[in-house]
Structure 1
Amino acid sequence: MANMFPVSSVDTCRLLDAGAGVGALSCAFLDRWKAGDHCFQQVEATAYEIDDRLRAHLTDHLAGYAGVTPNVIAGDYIELTAKPDFDSPGYTHAILNPPYKKINTGSAHRLALRSVGIETVNLYSAFVALAVAQMAPGGQIVAIIPRSFCNGPYYKPFREFVLKRAAIRHIHLFNSRSTAFKDDEVLQENIIISLECGGDQKDVTITTSTDDSFSDIASHVHPFNRIVFEADPERFIHVPTSAEEGAIERSSVVCCSPEEVGVKISTGPVVGFRMRSQLREMPEPGTVPLLYPNHFSSNGLGIVWPGESRKKPSAILRNDETEKWLYPNGFYCLVRRFSSKEEKRRIVARVLDPNEIGDSPMVGLENYFNVFHDKKKGLQKELAYGLAIYLNSTAVDQQFRRFNGHTQVNATDLKLMKYPDRDTLINLGSWALQQNEITQESIDMKMEETL
């Protein structure tokens, strides 16, 4: 992180480390200065730390550098800085490993941030936004944070705030969450991002490594319009991991919203743990089929119901309490909502064929699904299969991973994706229905031909 700062010749460096802990990041930055990488005459180091047990170590560490004026501040960075009479200290550099915790809507933190024009939902994004607001023109920020801010509606105000005030210079992505932060049980995909406040947005350097050893680091430079698409109102931040454009980007065929295709996307309405008394392990009189992702077939595009040795129920009672949560039996494209970071595929889609669940008039679709439907009714058969072919393609999976660092596939993410037009999807579905066997290779070959 210290090496990601460009060489600076300002006379006095004003360094910010918010949530400094014992000062590991500040010390790394100061060590680089002492090694001659920067030409500062002096450093004013401001470090915020809320934990009483850590501050004594932090103070000792900063005091060990000649030419450094340390200012260790006890307390909550947000509470102490996010005030209506906010005045920027004009920091020239900031190095951050902020805390990760959701901010409740009506909390003191949320209200304090709002008073200075910052709307965000997590402490890490709040720390970064405040740091951006406190920087001098040309100020440099390097922060290690979850990648979750790159997409989704909740972080849109934060993305807009940062992109309006700063230029992205460098993003480093760890390809393996489990090895890079194995000692900390980190459950998110993390990046290191370098920002220049008030800078002109130019090309962006993207580096990747498997883990924190950086032994296999790879680097590419991309134009900014490959990082944030010009026509994207959501301002999603993409992290391409190769120099070449993906097949989806290059294709003029992929140009339609779900609405233009004529489909709706919703989260499965049956929340199993809230309806335990209504669930049954196997079908019985008075029940209708209930599907979970473990009913997905391991081969092909279909489902296996009720199956054997299932860990989840396969039926739900149909009565006045459950009726509003059920869908009419029909053809639906179902996408699994959860995966693990290291799985081969982030997006996994299957088709619910009504013939696979008998003659039941209704079906229960559990909350672990995203459901492609037609106003809560089934889709045209060929369209359902065409969507499954498209969503299961390697090209779509690679494109999705460029802007989504979650292991969760949200309905909102799928709604914001582009799709081939309805006729093209129907043609894909017709092709799928004529195949004796569907493999990943055959899907990708067909998609390459189509795109």
Structure 2
Amino acid sequence: MASLFPKGEGSCYLLDAGAGIGTLSAAFLNRWKSGGFCFRRVALDAFEFDPSLIQHLVHTLGKYAREGDFISNIRQEDFIHASVESLTGSLFSPPVKYYTHAILNPPYKKINSRSAHRLALRRVGIETVNLYSAFVALAVAQAAPGGQIVAIIPRSFCNGPYYRPFRDFILEHAAIRHMHLFESRSKAFKDDDVLQENIIIRLERDGPQGPVTVSTSTDDTFADLVTHEHPFERIVFPDDPERFIHVPTSPEKNAIELSEAIRFTLADLGIKVSTGPVVDFRLKEHLRNMPGAGTVPLLYPAHFSRTGTTWPIEGMKKPNAIMRNAETEKWLYPSGFYCVVRRFSSKEEKRRIVASVVEPSAFGDAPVLGFENHLNLFHENKRGLPEALAHGLAVFLNTTAVDENFRRFNGHTQVNATDLKLMKYPSRETLIKLGEWAMQQGTLTQEQIDATLGSLIE
């Protein structure tokens, strides 16, 4: 992280928000002391709210205090409230400091929509849902023109509707200069239970946006570091209203980007995608382990595999059925052909998107079906799809090209209905042809799926 900053000159005003024991500040100062920066002096503001870490932080920074060209100010206060007070010119806070540099490993925790932090952030035009994005936005807000911000943060801000205001804020006030992606969640952060990829990002306050450097490594040894430069239109697509931030790991465009045939939205196709409406713990009294009188099938990801649908499953930890009555009726879908995608993948699973076809014949004469909340389902106004279309969608979504493209903007283990809604698809006719072909083949290999998609969209 310290190595990503340009060499610099003059005086450095450094921010370390959420400083902990001072590891990041020490890395920055070590580079300076060894001649990696050309600053005459460095003044550091280190924010740390946890009293148990202050003595360690004092000890770390004390190693650099012997010379007069470094001063540090340890601020044991809430970074969000202190920054907002400074930015709004409160009589009781010091005037805003415009930092030339910031290095951050911010805390990760959701912010309640009515919390004091959320209300404070709104006072300075920042709308966001997590402490980590709040810290980065405030660092940008307090950076001098040309100021450099380097942060290690979860990749979840790159996509999804909740982080759209944060993406807008960052893209309006800063240029993205560099992103580093750790390709293995478990190896880079083996001491933590990390459910999503983390990236290191360097931003430049008010900088003109140009090409973006993207580097990758499997883990924190950086032994297999690979670096490429990409035009900005490959990072944020010009026609994307959501402004998703993509992290391409190769200079070559993949089949999804290259194909003019894959340009249709779900709205163009007359298809909708929704999260499974049955939240099991809210309907607990209506759930049954096995089907019986008055029940209908309740479908979980475990009921689906690449070879088809298995229902019911004896001994499964989850229920196989739900009572059909006045309280559950509104959560049920008419029996029919649907395409479903699991919402969650395991940490190191090869595929992020796993799609299956719901075959109504697997459930006998069941008139309706329940889809549990861990599934996304494609439907036509809450009714099933034509059989060939359901199969075609599943084949398309199971292609390697789709999975690779999806990973470029989605760095966590969750596949949301919003993500699937914003993807581009082949035409309805192409998907039906793909489905008709798949229905004649039986079990498909990955090679067959990938090759057939290529021939249909050429």
| TM norm. shorter chain > 0.5 | yes
- The answer as to 2:221 corresponding to 1:219 is no
Q: For residue 85 of structure 1, report the CA deviation from its aligned partner.
A: 2.3
- Asked if the contact 1:172–1:192 (Cα under 8 Å) also holds between the matched residues in 2, the reply is yes
Aligned equivalent of 1:383:
389
Aligned equivalent of 1:284:
292
Aligned equivalent of 1:175:
183
- Asked if the contact 1:62–1:68 (Cα under 8 Å) also holds between the matched residues in 2, the reply is no
Partner secondary structure for residue 39 of structure 2: coil
TM-score calculated relative to the size of structure 1: 0.97
Partner secondary structure for residue 139 of structure 1: strand
- Tell me which amino acid in the other structure corresponds to 1:292: Y
- The answer as to 2:84 corresponding to 1:85 is no
Aligned equivalent of 1:138:
146
- Asked if the contact 1:59–1:70 (Cα under 8 Å) also holds between the matched residues in 2, the reply is no
Give distance in 2, aligned partners of 1:269 and 1:147.
27
Partner residue of 2:160 out of 122, 129, 152? 152
Aligned equivalent of 1:35:
34
- Asked if the contact 1:236–1:403 (Cα under 8 Å) also holds between the matched residues in 2, the reply is yes
- Asked if the contact 2:14–2:45 (Cα under 8 Å) also holds between the matched residues in 1, the reply is yes
Which structure 2 residue ranges, 5 or more long, are not aligned?
Answer: none
- Tell me which amino acid in the other structure corresponds to 2:40: Q
What percentage of aligned pairs have identical amino acids?
64
- The answer as to 2:369 corresponding to 1:370 is no
Q: For residue 289 of structure 1, report the CA deviation from its aligned partner.
A: 1.3
Give distance in 2, aligned partners of 1:109 and 1:94.
21
**Range with greater deviation from structure 2 (281-290 or 106-115):** 281-290
Give distance in 1, aligned partners of 2:124 and 2:350.
42
- Tell me which amino acid in the other structure corresponds to 1:228: V
Q: For residue 286 of structure 1, report the CA deviation from its aligned partner.
A: 1.3
Give distance in 2, aligned partners of 1:50 and 1:162.
25
Q: For residue 59 of structure 1, report the CA deviation from its aligned partner.
A: 2.5
TM-score calculated relative to the size of structure 2: 0.96
- The answer as to 2:362 corresponding to 1:356 is yes
- Asked if the contact 1:88–1:135 (Cα under 8 Å) also holds between the matched residues in 2, the reply is no
Partner secondary structure for residue 305 of structure 2: coil
Q: For residue 416 of structure 1, report the CA deviation from its aligned partner.
A: 0.8
Q: For residue 382 of structure 1, report the CA deviation from its aligned partner.
A: 1.0
- The answer as to 2:64 corresponding to 1:72 is no
Aligned equivalent of 2:116:
108
Structure 1 residues 428 and 273, CA, compared in 2 at 3 Å: closer, same or farther? Answer: same
Q: For residue 232 of structure 1, report the CA deviation from its aligned partner.
A: 0.7
- Tell me which amino acid in the other structure corresponds to 2:29: L
Give distance in 2, aligned partners of 1:189 and 1:2.
20
Give distance in 1, aligned partners of 2:97 and 2:73.
13
Map 1:112-123; keep pairs closer than 5 Å. 112-123=120-131
- The answer as to 2:301 corresponding to 1:293 is yes
| 1:46-73 deviation digits (Å, cap 9, x = unpaired) | 1111011222222232232222111111
Q: For residue 320 of structure 1, report the CA deviation from its aligned partner.
A: 1.4
**Range with greater deviation from structure 2 (311-320 or 166-175):** 311-320
- Tell me which amino acid in the other structure corresponds to 1:80: A
Give distance in 1, aligned partners of 2:406 and 2:329.
34
Q: For residue 354 of structure 1, report the CA deviation from its aligned partner.
A: 1.0
Q: For residue 418 of structure 1, report the CA deviation from its aligned partner.
A: 0.8
Aligned equivalent of 2:51:
52
Partner secondary structure for residue 193 of structure 1: strand
Partner residue of 1:413 out of 419, 425, 436? 419
| 1:147-203 deviation digits (Å, cap 9, x = unpaired) | 000000000110010111111111111111111111132332100001111111111
Map 1:269-348; keep pairs closer than 5 Å. 269-299=277-307, 302-348=308-354
| Number of equivalenced pairs | 448
- The answer as to 2:12 corresponding to 1:13 is yes
- Asked if the contact 1:146–1:188 (Cα under 8 Å) also holds between the matched residues in 2, the reply is yes
Give distance in 2, aligned partners of 1:186 and 1:286.
42
- The answer as to 2:258 corresponding to 1:253 is no
Partner residue of 1:404 out of 395, 400, 410? 410
Partner residue of 1:234 out of 227, 236, 242? 242
- Asked if the contact 1:288–1:317 (Cα under 8 Å) also holds between the matched residues in 2, the reply is yes
Q: For residue 272 of structure 1, report the CA deviation from its aligned partner.
A: 1.5
Partner secondary structure for residue 149 of structure 1: helix
Aligned equivalent of 2:22:
23
Give distance in 1, aligned partners of 2:225 and 2:325.
57
- Tell me which amino acid in the other structure corresponds to 1:284: G
Q: For residue 74 of structure 1, report the CA deviation from its aligned partner.
A: 1.2
- Tell me which amino acid in the other structure corresponds to 1:357: F
Partner secondary structure for residue 434 of structure 1: helix
CA RMSD of aligned residues (A): 1.2
- The answer as to 2:136 corresponding to 1:128 is yes
Structure 1 residues 308 and 297, CA, compared in 2 at 3 Å: closer, same or farther? Answer: farther
Partner secondary structure for residue 175 of structure 2: strand
Aligned equivalent of 1:2:
2
